[in-house]
Amino acid sequence: MARESSSRVVLPPQRRVSRTFSVVVDAPESKTRIWDSLFHAPDPLQVDAGAIGEFDVARIRFLFVCALATLPIVRLLVSQTHDAWVGLGVVFGLLVIALAIYILLMRGFYRPWLGFGTSGLDVSVVSGGLLIWLFLHQPVAAVNNRVIFDMYFLVIAATSLRSDPRICVVTGLLAAIQYAAIVLAAGHFWNLSTLLVGQSEYGQYLWQDQAARLLMLLVAAVISARLVLRSQHLRLLSRSDRLTGLPNRGYFDERMIIELARARRFGHSLSIAMLDFDDFKKFNDTYGHAAGDIALRAVATTLRKQVRDRDLLVRYGGEEFLVVFPHLDAVNAVARMNLIRQAIAEIPLALSTGTTPHLTISVGVATYGEADGTEAEDLLDRADARLYRAKAQGRNQVVGPEWAAMQERREKTPV
């Protein structure tokens, strides 16, 4: 068995694993999972997709405002009225904001909260366009406007590009609240029914129509959020192992790029552990492949309970699993895997034959740095070599960087 370090090991608190991959991938989406998805931050790959979507929205916003700027310019060329100058000033202000956001994203600035801020800004701009009519004492144009009101739907549709259903819901609610405030203000300060006489171009004013407009904004937000959740679910299916519900190697390859980039940028620790069942072929030959599937699912369930929210748990292939430990050094990663190894050895596998066999695992641990490497391939090679060293040393043990270095020094020391 691998030697335990005598130094004090500080282990992070254990919590339930992130719900990102804790579902049975071939089951239909439940209402509970949809609800939970709205209140959990997206996984890092979804954050990357959100950054790309935010950049797309910024580009569309800038081009749209540029096209919009032609309207007051044409009006000024025809007649230099006060309204035309006001319109040009408003559009110029929007152009500055749109350009600033676009340049900010071009320079690589992105935070997950940025989508909430820019979506709220877009909604407020649309509401501001309606408020201008109120300040011009034309409330009918504000509450029965067809062109500006429809821009709410463009803003809500754009939220789906940000790959975060929470932004869709918040944006829809904000649009409904702001528009409801405009309608209430118009109804409070003006008699809209009287003002509509002789203004057939705005149609008939009915409270039922305003309620319907508010409902349509909320429905649009729900549809946008549902589209995001559906696309995430489909992507999840393509990156998941059907037997255990864990992410597969394809997801690991994408996620590892992000974790390594964070380790380089912020200088924090990063460890990976590769684990494999001991004598699994013999287990399958003795109890059957159906029992092997039961064992794989049981081990996956135990692993989920043992790792932290921030950790990445992957079924790498066959009976091999990978665990990525961000912010965990070699000593603590080895200690964590020893706890997991002991928990797996205690799993009673209740089979239909009435037997309750137990399984053990061997583990190899590698840590980001000069000794083990700074690329995913190097870390995988190191962890894999230590996994086979653990098997060669008698199985049911964890071999980490410090233990492996000590063994290498012993082998090189002449007798």
Two tokens, residue 374: 């700074």
Closest among 246, 223, 256, 251 to 235, alpha carbons compared? 251
> Distances from the Cα of 280 to the Cαs of 120, 164, 287, 357, 385, in angstroms?
55, 41, 10, 12, 19
* Per-residue exposure over 215-248, b if at least 16 CB sit within 10 Å of its own CB, e if not: ebbeebbeebbeebbeebbeebeebbbeebbbbb
Q: Which of 319, 320, 346, 375 is catalytic?
A: 319
Rg (CA), the chain: 30
Query: How distant is the alpha carbon of residue 414 from its chain centre?
Result: 54
What's the one-letter identity of residue 348? P
Which parts of 107-199 fold into alpha helices (H)? Answer: 114-135, 139-143, 147-159, 165-189, 192-195
- The β-bridge partners of 240 are 247
> ∠ CA(137), CA(193), CA(86), 5° rounding?
20
> Distances from the Cα of 288 to the Cαs of 148, 278, 281, in angstroms?
66, 16, 10
Told to judge if 319 belongs to the known catalytic residues of this protein, a careful annotator would answer: yes
* Per-residue exposure over 341-353, b if at least 16 CB sit within 10 Å of its own CB, e if not: beebeebebeeee
What's the one-letter identity of residue 177? I
- The β-bridge partners of 324 are 272, 312
Active site members: 319
